[in-house]
Structure formats: C-alpha cells, structure tokens
Structure 1
C-alpha cells in the first residue's frame, strides 16, 4: 500500500536526513502507547497487533512494551511523558487525534525519542510523523451504505429518511469529518436524509450506549452506526433486540452480531501501522511531513464479498453501493479532507 497526501498538502522542505537504518544487532526499541484499552477499539487493536507482528518478522524493530493508559484523559500527557522518558524506547507509537498534540508536548520534554501517531495531523517537527486516514471519505461511504440499507425494504426498516450514530465524544475529526461525511453520504442517495446522533460522553459505558441507541430507534432510526469504543456492544444489543441494523465502522465485525451488523466501511489500521513500521525499519519515515491516506492507497476498504453483506442486503442496494464505491476508487468522485480541517487539527495540536 502506498502513502501520499493526495494533493492536500503543499510541497515542503525535505526532512532532515535520516540516520543509518537499524540492524538486528542494534534494533529500534519501540514502545506502543494505547490511550485507552485494547479489545474494543479497532485503531488501537490494529496498531498493537501490527507492532507485535512486525517485531516477530523483522528484528530491526524490537517491541519493548505495549502500555494501556486507560480512559482518564487528564492523565495521558503525564503518562506519555513518563513512558517516553523511561529510557526504554527510541520510538513511541500511538494513535488518535488528541495524541498528536500530546506527542508534540512530550517531544519538547523528552529529547531524542521520536513519535509516530496514527489518526493525527501534525507537521513541522523533526521527531514526529503522523498518518491521517481520510475520515471524510470513509464516512461518506459509511453514510451512503447506511441510507441504502434504510431504504432497502429489508425487514425492520421503515420509510423514515433517518440514519443514526452513537459516538463517544466530540472532537474535530468527529465534528468536522465523520458526521458531516455521513450526512453527505446519505444525502447522495436522497437529499431528504437526516442524521440523528447521541453522544455517550466516554468510550466505555455500554449500558448507556444501549439506552442511547434505543432512543434513536424510538425516533425512527432503523440503521445505526457506533463509534463509541467499548460502548459499541451496547449499540449492538439495542439493535439486535429491536430488529434494527448496524453498519460497523473501522473494522469488519459481522461475527459480533450476525444478522444485525450487515455492512462495514473499514480503516485498515493494522496494515497502515505495519507499513509505517516497515518505513521506520528502512529509514524512510518523512519526519515532520504528515501523510493523508484513504481508499485509493488501500487504507479505507469495504468487504463487498463478505457473507454478512451479501446474504443480508438486497442485490439492488449492493450494486448501487458498488457503483459509488468504484467512482471513488477510480478518482471520478473525489472526497478529500478539507485543508482547513487539517490545519485546524494541526493548530490545536501545536497550541496555535
């Protein structure tokens, strides 16, 4: 899979020349910092799994430790600085929009240690590299798929032009890319669609998430999205109990709720992390120069042949989705991340 900014970032001066590539005798010591818990978060699970797989395959990168920081965000900067300053790591790898800014802060306090951050956008620091998956593109496809299911005539659907989302918290990516992308995607099918959303307020309360999802179903939503971390199982329970449907985000997880999860628009977090680690081992990370990646680079995908999708969703709806998907894949329909949003994330990360 390839990297590239898709023309969204102007040309910048070359990063400082990389040092000699690592060897099996002198490997890069890698620490993975998880801002949450493993198990129900595809971005973190994908990163941790990729680091473990890469360390077993390539002795030039040694995975020293994977640390789960928990859900108390007020402690993350102290934990990150302590983790990076321990002397155990040459590179710390983490993920999420907030962690780009925390890596910036930590880099000011911890000399020499470098930081890799997925789902963040920070430019201009010679010890920080960020890779940003195009969440607008992913979410546009997500909303379009949800609208198709809602209007498919499947058992349990209704004539209301509504899709729903239970999400963990507000942040720039959610507010400026994911929810707008979902709504625009649904409206690409029918301009009358609306998005109803409910904020969980955390990333772990599955019982509350179940209640919020039930409220959305009561309001007429028949196809739900869940971006709530460990709260996602609550959304699945509500949908299964009420004969509604879920399109899963970031990972194909049909087995979590067969017949309820009927589609997925995925971000290939594991593959992205593995490819970044390959570049790290080869001495080819463009430090200070962020990348934006998406469908055309292979990091946003849709399991179009998954049995859970093929068996549940009518052929007409599936064909209609594939038509739009192929337009995006070919470049006929371009869905870039607005540069203003990337600038907003960068500026917030560096305190501007």
Structure 2
C-alpha cells in the first residue's frame, strides 16, 4: 500500500512539473489593424511553447471594461502571470494586484508608481523616441527638399491628451526640433480619438495650411487620415511604434519604433525562468535596444537625403551612449 501511495504522489509531482506556465494577456484594444498589438501578439506567440501557454484576451476600446476583465482573469486563478498594457492601466493593475496578492502581474508601456511585491512594470523612454523624431522633423523643414517651404514649421498630432503626451512626448519632440532650428514653430493638434481618420485628416489639413512641412503622428488609426492628407499635398509625416514606410512610400519618411514584441517575449521568458524583478519598475529605450527607427529600411534610404540620414544616426548614437541632452 505504501508503494502504491508513493507512486500516486510521484505521479502527482510529475503532472505538476509538466503543467505549462500560464500567461494571460489582456489587450487594451483590439489586435486587428493595431500595429502595436500585432507586435504584442507576435512577441507572445514567439514565447509560446510546450512549457509556456499563452492566452490573449482582447479588451476592446471601451475602457470601462478593462479593469473588470483584468479582475475576472485574476479571479480564475489559472494564470501564473497576467500581462497588460498602457498608461491607462496603472491604477487598475494596482487595485487588482492588491486584491489578489498571490497573482503575478506585468504592466508594459506604463508604470505602476507604487511598488507592489506581485507587480513588475516597464515603460519605454518615449522622450528618446519623440526627441529623435523632432530632430528629423527639424532637419526636413530646414532642408529645402521638394515639398518643403521657406517657413520653419512642423506639426504634431496626438490621438488624445494624456500625461505622457503632455509632459514627456510633446516637450521632447519640440526640443528635438529646436535642437536643429531654435526658431522653428511646432503646431499641435489633438484628435480626441484613436480611431477617427476623418478628424485626423482635418487636423493635418490645418497644419499643412499653417505651413507645416512634416507632421509627427502619435494618433493610432486617426493618423491614417493625416497620412492621406499629406499624400494629397506632397507633404510628409513621421509615424511611431511600428514600421509603416511601405504603407505610403515617400510620404511616411520614417517610423520611430518601440520593439514591444521583443519586450513582451523577454518579459515572459524571464517570468518563466523566475528572474523578473517583481516589486520594481524600469524604463527601456535606445541603449536597451527597445527604441529605434527605420534607419536600414530601403525606403528610408531612398527618400531621405544621405546627409540627413547621417546626421540623424549621429544623434541616435549620441543618445544611445549618453542619453538625452538637457532641455
């Protein structure tokens, strides 16, 4: 009998060891048509294996549903790790993490300000991304290339107003522009939605009418309208998050990239290995290989003059080795 009981115990241990590491991913939006969440999916699927089981939940665009979904995922008790995203989620993550202290949580592209022992959060250095975009915009508006005018004016269109935009990204973009042309003017517009291309086109039209040569778009799907407006006028835009150059070659001059696919993959693997520093947060950027731009893309090389490509790369290397200049 003792041998039989021991066999049952050993079998239970084997089954326990064989159980996959469960990762639940709450997308604060939808994957289809959203470049950043398509990258999230790619990174998650890359991490999936016999030992790591991934389940992705699309939360949709009704923000009031995100916290209840996070809560319900935690309540199931079936995930070793729950991952979610964006600056819209720190308060919700903290609230649910307190309610389920034995559940591990990760927030990416956002920071939970109060350290919690079961939460790890990591944000991108968005100021590095938008400063470098501003440097490029400043170079374009002073370049005299076809489609630019004598006025030193550039634009920025945001999907909505939120702390990171107002306090970090917009000031860094303006500083990047003015590092090239101190007298340059930066026009700023807010769509009020991440999925309103018509409004995005209207704002772009206003900025181009205001003599902007190039516009940085941080507007999600609303930026599609801005891109179409730029194309109709022979003007330029810069995009963020993923490589969009092939969408409108010669109009989208550069994309400044967040390698969130790599961040998702590495975070899941570290959590699986037990090396993720829960109870802390961090920020990643150019020096960590998580922020970059389309410097090697043939379309960037084709449409951006060589002198500008060389200068923007010098700025990239400068930030990579020494961080941003004071502004």
Following superposition, the deviation at residue 24 of structure 1 comes to 7.0
Residue 9 (structure 2) aligns with:
none
3-state DSSP of counterpart to 1:330: helix
* Residue pair 1:134, 1:337 contacting (<8 A) in 2 also: no
Residue 181 (structure 2) aligns with:
190
The reply to whether residue 39 of structure 1 matches residue 32 of structure 2 is yes
3-state DSSP of counterpart to 2:310: helix
Alpha-carbon distance between aligned partners in 2 of 1:41 and 1:227, rounded to the nearest angstrom: 13
Correspondent of 1:310 among 297, 301, 305: 301
1:328-343 matches, cutoff 5 A: 328-331=319-322, 334-335=323-324
Bigger RCO of structures 1 and 2 (CA < 8 A, at least 6 apart): 1
How big is the alpha-carbon RMSD for the aligned residues of Structure 1 and Structure 2?
2.0
Unmatched 5+ residue regions in structure 1?
A: 1-22, 339-352
Correspondent of 2:71 among 65, 81, 86: 81
Alpha-carbon distance between aligned partners in 1 of 2:221 and 2:165, rounded to the nearest angstrom: 17
The C-alpha deviation readout for 1:102-138, integer Å capped at 9, x for no partner, is 1111112334222111111124111111111111111
Following superposition, the deviation at residue 83 of structure 1 comes to 2.8
Alpha-carbon distance between aligned partners in 1 of 2:325 and 2:306, rounded to the nearest angstrom: 29
* Residue pair 1:164, 1:216 contacting (<8 A) in 2 also: yes
Following superposition, the deviation at residue 308 of structure 1 comes to 1.4
Correspondent of 2:133 among 125, 135, 142: 142
Alpha-carbon distance between aligned partners in 1 of 2:37 and 2:192, rounded to the nearest angstrom: 19
The reply to whether residue 219 of structure 1 matches residue 216 of structure 2 is no
Correspondent of 1:128 among 108, 114, 119: 119
Over 3 Å counting, the alpha-carbon distance change for 1:141 and 1:24 in structure 2 is farther
1:213-292 matches, cutoff 5 A: 213-292=204-283
Alpha-carbon distance between aligned partners in 1 of 2:224 and 2:286, rounded to the nearest angstrom: 27
3-state DSSP of counterpart to 1:156: coil
Correspondent of 1:50 among 40, 43, 62: 43
Alpha-carbon distance between aligned partners in 2 of 1:279 and 1:191, rounded to the nearest angstrom: 44
The reply to whether residue 93 of structure 1 matches residue 83 of structure 2 is yes
Following superposition, the deviation at residue 336 of structure 1 comes to 8.3
Over 3 Å counting, the alpha-carbon distance change for 1:86 and 1:337 in structure 2 is farther
Alpha-carbon distance between aligned partners in 1 of 2:270 and 2:185, rounded to the nearest angstrom: 42
Structure 2 length as normaliser, TM-score? Answer: 0.90
Residue 200 (structure 1) aligns with:
191
Structure 1 length as normaliser, TM-score? Answer: 0.84
3-state DSSP of counterpart to 1:84: helix
Alpha-carbon distance between aligned partners in 2 of 1:67 and 1:205, rounded to the nearest angstrom: 24
Count of aligned pairs:
312
Residue 177 (structure 1) aligns with:
168
Alpha-carbon distance between aligned partners in 2 of 1:121 and 1:151, rounded to the nearest angstrom: 37
Residue 10 (structure 1) aligns with:
none
